[in-house]
Amino acid sequence: MKTPHRESVLSRSARILEAFSQEEPALTVSEIARRAGLHVATASRLVAEMVGHGFLSRDVDRRVRIGVRLWELVTRASPTLSLRDTAMPFMEGVHDVVGHHVQLGVLDGEDVLFLERLSAPNAVINYTRIAGRLSLHASSSGLVLLAYGPTSVKEAVLSGPLIAYTSATPAAPARLRAVLAEVRQQGYAYCPGYVHQEALGIAAPVRGAEGAVVAALSVIVPNESSAHAVVPVVRTAARGISRALSAPPTGESRPDGNESAT
């Protein structure tokens, strides 16, 4: 009798957390109840408990948000923090030179999940955001992760529906197979107008210490032929991140990240 109760509370808590989004990070209890499919009284009780544990917090106007405490617990032990920290100086270097958008994505399920994005004011149009997702077959990051990813994911994507965001999106299975073969052969993805006609994505694989591809580094620039010049910049930075991930930890050279004064 205990297990169903536990499952139920955690399952409901998960649905409550899922109710929030980047567009709507603050919700009333009745909005939460509706989105989570819970009675208002149930949602109200559970929200109060989650606020008590710092999972959620309440604004002055009583609207509810993700709690800073939960953000802290998840971020400080983030499954992605060391990858992101290692990649960040390389991403900043690319951003300084190329401008526009520089981003880091990982494979999660059948999506690319973006861990980090640096954007310049007035950069070209781009649909990614931090903790946002894009389809594997359409985005340059996704094509890299798919090309070097597990066969099971590749087959699932190839047999599933493939949305054509533009006429350039590789939305036919035969074309997608050819694109993936090309990515593996070239070592990078070059995607003019696949997600939006005005934008061009270039992505290269980032390998972990064991040699497996763990992430994709990408830039989004205007869809112009001059974008070819950016390819070596992206590939070089992706290689640099891979080498840094494989380097043995050097405690002495990073005194800042390894201890706390409190």
- Cβ-based nearer residue to its own copies, 52 or 174: 52
Distance (Å, whole) CA 59 – CA 43: 17
Binding flag, residue 57, its own copies (CB under 8 A): yes
Q: Applying CB under 8 A, which of residues 35, 58, 63, 65 lies at the interface with its own copies? A: 65
Q: Shortest approach of its own copies to residue 252 CB, angstroms?
A: 11
- Cβ-based nearer residue to its own copies, 50 or 144: 50
Binding flag, residue 73, its own copies (CB under 8 A): yes
Q: Which of residues 198-257 bind its own copies (CB under 8 A)?
A: 253, 255-257
Binding flag, residue 179, its own copies (CB under 8 A): no
Show the binding pattern over residues 21-50: x = contacts its own copies (CB under 8 A), - = does not.
Answer: xxxxx-------------------xx--xx
- Piece of 5-13, 154-162, 172-180, 222-230 that binds its own copies (CB under 8 A): 5-13
Binding flag, residue 258, its own copies (CB under 8 A): yes
Q: Shortest approach of its own copies to residue 34 CB, angstroms?
A: 16
- Piece of 78-86, 154-162, 172-180, 183-191 that binds its own copies (CB under 8 A): 78-86
Show the binding pattern over residues 115-144: x = contacts its own copies (CB under 8 A), - = does not.
Answer: ---xxxxxx-xxxxxxxxxxx--x------
- Cβ-based nearer residue to its own copies, 153 or 184: 153
What residue has token string 């999972």?
A: 55
Binding flag, residue 70, its own copies (CB under 8 A): yes
3-state secondary structure the chain: CHHHHHHHHHHHHHHHHHCCCCCCCCECHHHHHHHHCCCHHHHHHHHHHHHHCCCEEECCCCCEEECHHHHHHHHHCCCCHHHHHHHHHHHHHHHHHHCCEEEEEEEECCEEEEEEEEECCCCCCCCCCCCCEEECCCCHHHHHHHHCCCHHHHHHHHHCCCCCCCCCCCCCHHHHHHHHHHHHHHCCEEEECCCCCCEEEEEEEEECCCCCEEEEEEEEEECCHHHHHHHHHHHHHHHHHHHHHHCCCCHHHCCCCCCCCC
